[in-house]
Homo-oligomer: A and B are copies of this chain.
């Protein structure tokens, strides 16, 4: 069953063309948990050289959306209705990992939370929380 889940999520992820555009990949799929990884690229930044807030949001939104989808029937579709994102530190470093987790699954509304960690010089730092 986990193989089915993996396949279902990864197939859907492959249709999120913007993930290819920015170079993100899905690195973890478990029930209620999805991770997305994004290596640094100089064409993803804002004016001061940090990852653009929207790019960071994009991967945490996708991680949360698919985390929600893991808890839904195979026929279900998921759509973001709202999120709140706190930027704790400017996001920089060799790569980002966004972790989406289901907080409360629901029939019509699933609540998730997400974190983004930045990796630089072998150190990990929490940069975003949603």
Contacts and interface: CB of A to CB of B under 8 A. Distances in A.
Interface residues of A, number: 46
Given A17-B45, A47-B16, A83 B81 contact: no
A55 interface: yes
Contacts of A77: 48
Interface of A, secondary structure class, is mixed
A18 B87 contact: no
Interface in A34-67: 42-48, 52-55, 57-59, 61-62, 65
Contact of A82 (B20, B85, B113): B85
Contact of A18 (B16, B20, B45, B109): B45
Contacts of A45: 15-18
